[in-house]
């Protein structure tokens, strides 16, 4: 007659195996979350950098808003013409905005 392993030993072995599987899943999920968090941190840092640049540009724009030459360049970019200037319109001109000609003045601190 062969001796059977005790039921308690089998049950403990099954529970240990399930625990190992559960720990493997939890470790994998933790690694996944860590990678996702680092990716989100990089995206947020890039966005913060862009927002800081926007704040600096707006600060420079506020300082330049009192400069008449800068305001003249800004108005010209938007299509305004000076009082003493003459406007010539080409009948064959393309109807649309030429992006190369419509650039904001350079903001220098």
pLDDT value for 103: 58
Q: Is the pLDDT of residue 101 over 70?
A: no
pLDDT of 59 > 60? The answer is yes
pLDDT at position 105:
57
The position carrying tokens 């905005």 is: 97
Global pTM value:
0.52
Instruction: Look at residue 70 in the predicted model and tell me its pLDDT.
Output: 82
Count of other CB atoms within 10 angstroms of residue 74? 16
In contact, 36 and 30? CB cutoff 8 Å: no
Please give the average per-residue pLDDT across 36-57, as a whole number.
Answer: 96
The pLDDT confidence band at residue 47, using thresholds 50, 70 and 90, is: very high
Average pLDDT over residues 7-18: 93
| pLDDT value for 74 | 79
Quote the pLDDT of residue 43: 97
């Amino acid at each position: 007659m062969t001796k059977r392993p005790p039921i308690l030993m089998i049950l403990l072995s099954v529970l240990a195996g399930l625990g190992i599987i559960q720990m493997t899943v939890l470790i994998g999920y933790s690694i996944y979350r860590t990678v996702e968090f680092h990716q989100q941190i990089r995206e947020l840092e890039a966005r913060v950098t862009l927002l800081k640049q926007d704040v600096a540009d707006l600060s420079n724009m506020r300082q330049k808003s009192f400069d008449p030459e800068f305001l003249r360049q800004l108005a010209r970019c938007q299509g305004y013409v000076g009082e003493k200037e003459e406007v010539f319109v080409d009948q064959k001109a393309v109807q649309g905005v030429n992006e190369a000609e419509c650039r904001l003045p350079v903001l220098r601190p």
